[in-house]
Amino acid sequence: MWIEEVKTYLVNANVLQSADRPRGRNWLFAKVSTYEGVDGIGEGSGWPEVVEKGIQEVAESLYREEPFHTERIWQKLYRMLHAHGLTGTVRGGVISALDMALWDIKGKQLELPIHTLLGGKIHNRIRIYGHANSVKEARVLVEKGYTAFKCGPDVETLAELREEFGYGIDIGVHCHGEFSVAEALSLADDIRPYKPVFLEEPTNPDDLEALRWLGQRARVPLAAGERLFSKWSFRELFETRAIAIAQPEITRIGGITEAKKVATLCEAFGVMLAPHDGSTGPIAEMANLHVLATTPATLFLEHRDRDVFWRREVVDGVILDQEGHLAVPDEPGLGLTLNEESIEKYPAAPYSRYRYTYEDEIAVNRRRKGVDG
């Protein structure tokens, strides 16, 4: 069996005319086809428009490679792109999309689900958590069976949520790396009485020493990792002993191959695993389920409860949440197929369609503190 062709699909996943990124939210899907007629699919993220170009650049080097050799091809792609510097969005996204597709081929050819190839299931379903910044939004999730969600870094909101739903629900607080260490410590102290399940990315993710300092002083569980790109980055993060929960992004980290290695590191360091999945598409979510099914470190998976309606149209086989969980699929490979006809209806919009909004650090601090002008 050998690889014959690689194709990419940039899919619009944004319904708004303003966005926090220049071309809105898009998904980047890849399809790897073999001479024998077996196709595999994957997803790359971080900067989908640029990752697509990266995949197109390396596609020819995969011609006639053996798709079962996932580790060898992972290493080949990693070394091929070394001249671009340390692993970041582009190299991570390229490797992630192609690696997922190769695992998908392997499972389909063997007529086995990927989790079986990774060692077998120890979880039949995975708990998910949603997003809620008000009692109204949270009630929708709780009525659907969710037992976990996260809100923004607002103490009053967290207090209201706890008063309404009690302590039988796990509530996290996410910060997008916006706080200085002093502000983050103050926030950790303020939210501690409400027992958050985690305080996510409280400090700049590029500054591990800031997180180490905070981890030595904060008395709430810290979570981080969605913007890291390799097992080496996670090893350094874990060595700070600052976090209780790791949040790798499977479309940036290096696909299923690297995600499974990070899961093993979680187990070794006593850290729980809760992958980031807030802006990615259905292929990434399914890949996460296969990895999470095979590790004792699993805590839960982030899930976008409300998404564009064509999420279930562009890919066949998407699993719907039930009682706050996603069932682990048993179909061969990922358990998904691309619907290329539907994909054609949702192309990525041109740059001119979006009004890009940006706040500098001063503006963010002013807004957070309620200071005008």
- Of the candidates 55, 65, 61, 7, the residue with the CA atom closest to the CA atom of residue 35: 65
Strand, coil or helix: 233: helix
- Of the candidates 274, 222, 286, 223, the residue with the CA atom closest to the CA atom of residue 249: 274
Using CA atoms, how far apart are residues 162 and 285, in angstroms rounded to an integer? 29
pLDDT of residue 211: 97
Residues 277, 302: contact at Cβ < 8 Å? yes
Tens-digit pLDDT profile for residues 238-293: 999 999 999 999 999 999 999 999 999 999 999 999 999 988 999 999 999 999 99
C-alpha angle 304-242-21 in degrees, rounded to nearest 5: 35
User: Is pLDDT larger for residue 71 or for residue 366?
Assistant: 71
Q: Which amino acid is residue 236, in one-letter code?
A: E
Residues 121, 328: contact at Cβ < 8 Å? yes
Using CA atoms, how far apart are residues 295 and 293, in angstroms rounded to an integer? 6
- One-character DSSP codes across 1-22: --EEEEEEEEEE----SEESST
pLDDT of residue 64: 95
Residue 373 pLDDT more than 50?
A: no
Tens-digit pLDDT profile for residues 191-226: 999 999 999 999 999 999 999 999 999 999 999 999
pTM score, whole prediction: 0.94
- Residues belonging to the chain: 373
Residues 3, 70: contact at Cβ < 8 Å? no
pLDDT of residue 335: 98
User: Is pLDDT larger for residue 23 or for residue 113?
Assistant: 113
Q: Copy the structure tokens of residue 221.
A: 């569980």
Per DSSP, helices labelled H in 128-204 are 135-143, 155-165, 181-191
Please give the mean pLDDT across all residues of the chain: 93
pLDDT of residue 139: 98
Superfamily of domain 117-342: Enolase-like C-terminal domain (3.20.20.120)
Tens-digit pLDDT profile for residues 107-119: 999 999 999 999 9
Spans of all domains in the chain: 3-115, 117-342
Residues 273, 260: contact at Cβ < 8 Å? no
CB-facing half-sphere around the CA of 346: CA atoms within 13 A: 25
CATH fold of 3-115 reads Enolase-like; domain 1 (3.30.390)
pLDDT of residue 87: 76
Q: Kindly report the backbone phi and psi dihedral angles of residue 87, in degrees, each rounded to the nearest multiple of 5, phi listed first.
A: -60, 130
pLDDT of residue 86: 73
